[in-house]
Amino acid sequence: MAAAFAASGLLLAALPVEAQSGREISVPAQAAPPGGGPTLDPAFDIDGRVVSMDEARLKVAAAEREHGHDSLELVEPLLDLAAAKARAGDFVAAAGDFAEAVRLVETLRGAMDRRLLEPLRGLGLSANAAGEYARGAEALERALHVMRIHNGLYHIEQRELLDALSQSYIGLGRGEDAEFRQRAALQLAEREYGADNFRILPAVSALADWYHDQGFFPQERLLLEREIELLEAARGESDPSLVGPLRALALSYRLAYDPLPEGERALKRALEIHALHPEDRGSHAETLIALGDWYLVFRERMRAFDLYAEAYSLLAGDAVAAGRLDELFGSPVPLFYLQPRPPEIDENALPEDVAQGFVLVEYAVSPIGRVVDIELIESDPPGVMDHRVVQALRGAQYRPRIAGGEPVFTSGLRLRNTFAHNEQTVEVAPPDP
């Protein structure tokens, strides 16, 4: 499986483009999966309690006055305070309070006490959110161990911890360890409910989403096909719930720049389902746009623009759905962008010898979705990646901005491409002709 974690060199789709003049989008030079890196689980409520920051502080102070600084009675108020800080975005402070709760339980009840689960979980989530992935992994591995001691090796509640732990390992650059935890979460669901039981659908979907976020499209497609089979068996072959995974399946092929007919067929099947369930015009328009994106990337421009026009008309003709016109067509959307190759870095270089560089360019997108009028605004160090970034943009394909049902020219777009380089061995690329 190690080969699956090699960078593909592609960054396709879903870059946050702003059409207004002077706005920037940021793109790392190294290949990155759509969706980016580790994410935060927002579930910081402890046992269903949601306590305000002020109330939690009062509870901590009261517990300290009554029981002292080293009592079990202080654990619950500390958890409430840590959760309130995490919800407020102060993850470093939250991790500190969770860690203090861990210390109290360990000191007073031992290293395997069941009451360690919540503070260890909270510490792991907070540390991940603060970018302290090693600390997060350590806390979450301990929480997993405590849960298995008390609930058994295969308890289904491990899924949340396994998901958070995989985020720690992604942050640490340990992709295979992250994948192992994600697959373990699905195996737990299969063991609990059975491999063909509809109840495993959330676990299948979660693992498919994870593979998508990491850019592992062949693995994602296998799971999406399984998701579709589960939905068909449970709800029938024309249920609207199939539209989402069918669109995701086509997107997975397109992001891998793989024009196999399975992707196009998935979108056409989704359109057949829309024909049977015409009430959701917004979803119907999204599927039309997805098929248009497919044709535009694979060089069937006329078919693409016919579908965009149909989607635009469908939305414009519905008072509720019309509000999505700007969301879907108000800015150019990147569909294909081949990542420029970053400078080589000496594998023996010390961290202090590796610096962060960038190239900032301004450009326009034509009515047919091609990048034109590229202008270098700034680069540091100059000349290292300038040519490569410009060449990558020249080969990019966008869905153009559409106004009044017609594709239009959009200027003033900016892209900031960052990259790492070895300060001692910077090689200047040839200038842009």
Q: For 375-432, how does the pLDDT look when each residue is reduced to its tens digit (9 = 90+)?
A: 999 999 998 889 999 999 999 999 999 999 999 999 999 999 888 877 655 555 555 5
Q: Is the domain covering 2-31+335-422 a CATH 3.30.2420.10 domain?
A: yes
Question: Does pLDDT of 41 surpass 60?
Answer: no
Question: Does pLDDT of 268 surpass 60?
Answer: yes
pLDDT at 19: 30
Q: Please give the average per-residue pLDDT across 180-187, as a whole number.
A: 90
Sign of CA dihedral 157, 158, 163, 165: positive
The distance in angstroms from the start CA to the end CA of the chain is: 42
Q: Which residues lie closer than 8 Å to 389 by C-beta, 6 or more apart?
A: 29, 340, 359, 361, 415, 417
Q: What is the pLDDT of residues 233-252, one digit of tens each?
A: 999 999 999 999 999 999 99
| 3-class secondary-structure state, position 174 | coil
Determine the distance from the C-alpha atom of residue 5 to the mean position of all C-alpha atoms in its chain, rounded to a whole number.
16
pLDDT at 429: 52
pLDDT at 47: 59
Three-state secondary structure string covering 196-255: CCHHHHHHHHHHHHHHHHHCCHHHHHHHHHHHHHHHHHHHCCCCHHHHHHHHHHHHHHHH
- Residues above pLDDT 90, as percent of the chain: 62
| Cβ-based burial of 261 (10 A; exposed 0-12, middle 13-18, buried ≥19) | exposed
Stated pTM of the model: 0.74
| CATH classification (class only), 37-173 | mainly alpha
- Reported as a pLDDT band with limits 50, 70 and 90, residue 8 is very low
Q: Where do you find CATH 1.25.40.10 in the chain?
A: 37-173
Q: Do the Cβ atoms of 36 and 213 come closer than 8 Å?
A: yes
Q: Where do you find CATH 3.30.2420.10 in the chain?
A: 2-31+335-422
Question: Does pLDDT of 25 surpass 50?
Answer: no
**Which residue reads 């409430």 in tokens?**
80
pLDDT at 343: 82
Calpha distance 408→211 (Å, rounded): 35
Calpha distance 294→402 (Å, rounded): 17
Q: Which of 37-46, 348-357, 385-394 has the lowest mean pLDDT?
A: 37-46
Cα–Cα nearest to 19, from 327, 370, 414, 286:
414
Q: What is the pLDDT of residues 105-157, one digit of tens each?
A: 999 999 999 999 999 999 999 999 999 999 999 999 999 999 999 988 888 88
Bond before 77 cis per omega within 30 degrees: no
